[in-house]
Amino acid sequence: MKSLRLAFVLACVLSLTGCYAATIDTGRPVSTKVIEKKWASSWIYGLVPPTMINTAADCPNGVAKVETQLSFLNQVVGLITWGIYTPMQIVVTCAEGAQGSLITPEPEIQVAFNASTDDMREAFGKAAQEAVQSGRPVYVRMTH
């Protein structure tokens, strides 16, 4: 019975040593420019997220991929502080522009904020039709 408890505790400890990771891929072509922050401070098991990384100046063509992870050392620090301070690693990969230029903005259809239901339906219908034809997202912006 004692060895069964020890095996259970060992299995629990080993399961906690894995590295948590999440990746967001925007579908844009990847460039060689990477922004990395190894100790982004989050608090209370990540409920209070780290401050935003301003990529506008470093990634003029936008972002291709964002990866977050809790490395082994990040988890050790979180364990020592009982989860009050939980650092994480953030890696942002910039997007490659077409021939070095800025990417073109996504198409947009504007509709008045107080538009009728029929006008709204028409705007969203146009956006859907244009998105199917172009293969790109089309945004509907509500204006005052």
Model confidence pLDDT, tens digit, residues 72-103: 888 788 888 887 888 888 889 998 875 444 45
Q: Which amino acid is at 90?
A: I
34-66 pLDDT per residue, tens: 888 888 888 887 778 788 888 777 888 888 888
The rounded Cα 117 to chain-centroid distance in angstroms is 33
Contact 12, 4 (CB under 8 A): no
Confidence (pLDDT) at 101 = 47
Tokens 């021939």, residue located: 99
Neighbours of 68 (CB within 10 A): 20
How far is it, in rounded angstroms, from Cα 86 to Cα 67? 16
CB 87 within 8 A of CB 43: no
Residue-range domain boundaries for the chain: 19-100, 108-143
Strand partners for 34: 93
